[in-house]
A = this chain, B = another copy of it.
């Protein structure tokens, strides 16, 4: 009996989830819900309907887990509590500072409805969070560092696009190798934002725009760029479309810690990702989480959860016996 899943939202992430479901034999895509005209979407999966979000409540009995693929800024704060009152849900809410608030609202809705809602799944928050929690539990005396990239930051790309005279932009976050190496070697250095990451900007200027002003506005933008070494390179729209269409990302979570009575034995724990496609990898995490949520619901659990509450075996299609024999 396959786990019947549905996707809500068919942007980059929704498409990534769809591709991931096709790689998992125990998952079955029942439908994709959209707020757009369903006739305007063409899925890659054969024989799966596109439905209007209005149809979702009537389809409760046909769906084990609903995967919410909207954005964290405005979609998920509304959607996750709303749909958790009808479905078991998974989301990738990634505004770190607002997770406690989001959790509380989703938890209330899920507990009232007797559903399971797994929030903030992906790689950060998500797999990176796991790496932090495991490393901190094992090495209580130590220091964490997270490096992101080399990869496209949507938020920083959007911030550049809002500057007057910018037609298109792509921002790569680039970890500074010397800093990574110092952490990896267990030095536990004190690092500023500038020490850790470089910001690489590729910009298409509108015809006649003042490039010097655009560059200055980028480099001095508070929070986004002013605390970093930033490079700005102007290119044509053709070059942008040809060379910067992909959405790679990745990064590393490191913890350096010490053990022993003299605290003189150093240990470094590192978890790294190198991803050709951020949305497809994030979608793959969500697909595995759908499996876990279905199992948690079947086990009688309710309420809001995070990946930190999920026993690792629940994410795997393999049985406990199989995992112990072959993966332990």
Contact = CB atoms under 8 A, between A and B. Distances in A.
Interface in A8-41: 16, 19-20, 22-24
A308 B324 CA distance: 9
Interface residues of A, number: 70
A30 to B, nearest CB: 19
A19 to B, nearest CB: 5
Q: Which of A100, A268, A321, A324 has the most CB of B within 10 A?
A: A324
A143 to B, nearest CB: 14
Give the oligomeric copy count: 2
A306 B328 contact: yes
A315 B184 contact: no
Interface of A: 16, 19-20, 22-24, 44, 96, 99-100, 103, 120, 125, 127, 129-134, 136-141, 184, 186, 259-261, 264-277, 280-281, 283-285, 288, 291, 306-313, 315-317, 320-321, 323-325, 327-328
A48 to B, nearest CB: 14
Contact of A129 (B272, B280, B281, B327): B327
A275 B269 CA distance: 8
Contacts of A269: 127, 272-273
Contacts of A284: 138-139, 259
Contacts of A311: 308-311
A286 B174 CA distance: 36
A100 to B, nearest CB: 5
